[in-house]
Structure 1
Amino acid sequence: MSITIKLDVLLAMRKVKSKDLAAAIGITEQNLSLLKQGKVKGFRLATLEAICEYLDCQPGDLLEYHRETEARSE
């Protein structure tokens, strides 16, 4: 996938436990774990907003885009 979710890094930097964040934003720890691992196809903007508010960050602090390179044929 060309989008990386850096939530685990931000949680470590802020010294916040996953279970505390999950409880604060109203999602299960299991869903938060899937989000941290990048195993979700999408999530609600309201969830992103709640994470940003709780962690005092911007969406760009959580998400990183990587341009996928196409294999060149010779």
Structure 2
Amino acid sequence: MPIIVNLDVMMAKRKMSLNELSDKVGLTLSNLSILKTGKAKAIRFSTLEAICKVLDCQPADILEYVEEPEN
């Protein structure tokens, strides 16, 4: 998938654990873990907004587009 999730990078920069982010954002650990590992197929804008607010970052700090090579 050409969308890379850099949530773990932003969490490390802010020295925030998954548990702490979960509490502050109001998402379950399992849902945040799915997002963090890049296994999520979608994210709600409200969720992205809450994560950005807590981590004091922009959506582009968390999500990155990388073009896949053509076969």
TM over 0.5: yes
Q: Which runs of 5+ in 1 are unaligned?
A: none
Determine the structure 2 residue equivalent to 1:5. 5
Task: Provide the C-alpha distance between the structure 2 equivalents of 1:4 and 1:14, rounded to a whole number of angstroms.
Answer: 19
What is the TM-score when the length of structure 2 is the normalising length?
A: 0.96
Aligned pairs, number: 71
What is the TM-score when the length of structure 1 is the normalising length?
A: 0.92
Task: Provide the C-alpha distance between the structure 2 equivalents of 1:58 and 1:43, rounded to a whole number of angstroms.
Answer: 15
1:1-74 matches, within 5 Å, as 1-71=1-71
Question: Structure 1 stretches (4+) deviating beyond 3 angstroms?
Answer: none
RMSD after superposition = 0.6
